[in-house]
A and B are shown apart, each in its own frame.
Chain A
Amino acid sequence: MSRHCASPEATEAAGEEFARLLEPGDVVLLSGPLGAGKTTFVKGVARGLGVRERVTSPTFTVVREHHADGARGIRTLLHADVYRLGSLDEVVDLALGELVEEGAVALVEWGEVAAAVFGEDVITLEITPEDDARTLRVGGAAARDRAGLAAWR
């Protein structure tokens, strides 16, 4: 079973819903082709985590840090984009795995190229576009025992 979104609004709403299934320390690797709606989805997640400021592309600075409302122990949303990075060493240097230990979750765009750095203990979210619609599919070891995510697999 996976999640079907008929419009960008539905993708954003799905992100908001997804946010409520996250726990502190989660690292989510987002994948999907250019224009798949990763930004739209992340905006929804940010809303779901109570982030008030504007969520813009992190491509230039690689990581943007947003203050969440602290619900369920999530105080920070780390939004990363490893698209610009030239090597896996640079992804290691971001130390996202360590940063999330302090009550944060990380959403990583183009994270699939650096999957080796993040290890097994991650949630993956693959966005497949087809015309206006999007199919969202969750995977990864960290999602396996999460009851709420079962419907997204």
Chain B
Amino acid sequence: MRVLGIETSCDETAAAVVESGWRVASSVVESSLEIHRDYGGVVPELAGRAHLTTIGPVVRRALEGAGLDPHDPAIDAVAVTSGPGLIGSLLVGLSAAKAYALAWERPLVAVNHLEGHLFAPLLEAPALRFPLLTLLASGGHTMLVLQRSAGEHEVLGETIDDAAGEAYDKIARWLGLGYPGGPPIDRLAREGDAGALRLPASMLGPGLDFSFSGLKTAVVRQVGARPDLGVADVAASFQAAVVEQLTRKLAGALERYEVAGLALAGGVAANGQLREAVVALAADRGLEAHLPSREMCTDNAAMIAAAGLAHAARGDYAPLDLPADPGWSLEAVH
């Protein structure tokens, strides 16, 4: 079985071809940054409009990259992210996917973006064993998910306010470090003193939900009273608190659930300190941790095609009048 995946839920326009056995035949990701370069700086402000200019060429490149005829590709289905995400962005990918499905007479598969992230580890480590505990942390989401098999998942806990990546972005913007906030904070944190600020640990109870809004407030407040502090010290203190909470909840889930493997997914999975902490935790519990490559952390269409393949394999197709669902929760996916 071979599936074309299309992903336009946020800033990236992406298309990929994935085959049975979790084999990635091609994967193309065009970020807004590259559009800047392609168009010599003339970038449409609307994310949706940016997707509109790139979706056609990106799909063609993905098909050609997989050695397929872009006019009549030998694929079994077209999978597309139909939520959650920005409505204007989602609609571009969804409309394109419907058009391809109609023109090529192939079935359409609706994929939840978050379920896509859960398939990312399988693409790089097909031997990963279930049950698998995945920490999915990005700019829009932070959740702990237990997967009993590919496509069979249970959300154990999630953020009650801000996502971890969102806290990074907001603190970085406040510190004048630019967007996205993860890389500069991760880099600066290595030079700073993590004990410079006394930040309160959040969500100390036994539950598996996360909270990052209060941490953000505590950083802003304490830094205001400490004009002597350097940016590196603030970055180190903030990052230590985020990583502490993420790994504490991960450890809490390991106490309660019997798992065979541990995986990270989402943009925050690229964070160096989080990766080190998770490797240490896994080693301590005698588990193997899967750390995704940078390409697999961020939004891509290979993970969407992979999730689509799992749905297509059981004949789970979507009608051509499928609407986009900007608030589609992972709990609602079966």
Give me the interface of A with B, judged by CB distance under 8 Å.
8, 33-37, 39-40, 54, 56-57, 59-65, 83, 86-87, 89-90, 93, 129, 131
Are A56 and B161 in contact, CB atoms less than 8 angstroms apart?
yes
Are B159 and A35 in contact, CB atoms less than 8 angstroms apart?
no
What would 20 more interface pairs be, CB under 8 Å, given A61-B84, A64-B327? A33-B220, A34-B170, A34-B171, A35-B217, A36-B217, A39-B162, A56-B161, A57-B159, A59-B140, A59-B162, A59-B163, A59-B166, A60-B84, A60-B141, A60-B163, A65-B327, A86-B46, A89-B46, A93-B46, A131-B221
Are B46 and A61 in contact, CB atoms less than 8 angstroms apart?
no
> Which residues of B lie under 8 Å from residue A37 when comparing CB positions?
217
In chain B, residues 68-92, which have Cβ atoms closer than 8 Å to a Cβ of chain A?
A: 84-86, 88
> Which residues of B lie under 8 Å from residue A54 when comparing CB positions?
160
Are A90 and B217 in contact, CB atoms less than 8 angstroms apart?
no
Most-contacted residue by chain B among A37, A56, A64 (CB, 10 A): A56
Contacts A62-B86, A87-B45 given; indicate if A57 touches B221 (C-beta within 8 A).
Answer: no
Q: Which of A57, A90, A131 contacts B45 (CB 8 A)?
A: A90
Most-contacted residue by chain B among A57, A59, A83, A131 (CB, 10 A): A57
> Which residues of B lie under 8 Å from residue A86 when comparing CB positions?
45-46
Which applies to chain A's interface (DSSP): helix, strand, loop or mixed?
loop
Residue of B whose beta carbon sits closest to that of A86: B45
Are A34 and B174 in contact, CB atoms less than 8 angstroms apart?
yes
Give me the interface of B with A, judged by CB distance under 8 Å.
10, 45-46, 84-86, 88, 139-141, 159-163, 166, 170-171, 173-174, 213-214, 216-221, 326-327
Q: Smallest distance from the beta carbon of B95 to chain A beta carbons, Å?
A: 17
Contacts A34-B216, A39-B161, A39-B213 given; indicate if A61 touches B327 (C-beta within 8 A).
Answer: yes
Residue of A whose beta carbon sits closest to that of B165: A60
Are B221 and A93 in contact, CB atoms less than 8 angstroms apart?
no
> Which residues of A lie under 8 Å from residue B163 when comparing CB positions?
57, 59-60
Residue of B whose beta carbon sits closest to that of A62: B86
> Which residues of A lie under 8 Å from residue B219 when comparing CB positions?
35
Residue of A whose beta carbon sits closest to that of B142: A56
> Which residues of A lie under 8 Å from residue B326 when comparing CB positions?
61, 63
Q: Smallest distance from the beta carbon of A49 to chain B beta carbons, Å?
A: 18
Are A35 and B45 in contact, CB atoms less than 8 angstroms apart?
no
Report how far A57 CA is from B138 CA in the complex, Å: 13
Contacts A56-B161, A57-B161, A61-B140 given; indicate if A34 touches B220 (C-beta within 8 A).
Answer: yes
Q: Smallest distance from the beta carbon of B144 to chain A beta carbons, Å?
A: 15
Q: Smallest distance from the beta carbon of B43 to chain A beta carbons, Å?
A: 9
Contacts A34-B220, A39-B213 given; indicate if A61 touches B85 (C-beta within 8 A).
Answer: yes
Nearest first, the 6 A-B pairs at minimum CB distance are A60-B140, A35-B217, A35-B220, A87-B45, A57-B162, A86-B45
> Which residues of B lie under 8 Å from residue A34 when comparing CB positions?
170-171, 173-174, 216-217, 220
> Which residues of B lie under 8 Å from residue A61 when comparing CB positions?
84-86, 140, 326-327
Are B46 and A57 in contact, CB atoms less than 8 angstroms apart?
no
Are B221 and A90 in contact, CB atoms less than 8 angstroms apart?
no
Q: Smallest distance from the beta carbon of B102 to chain A beta carbons, Å?
A: 27
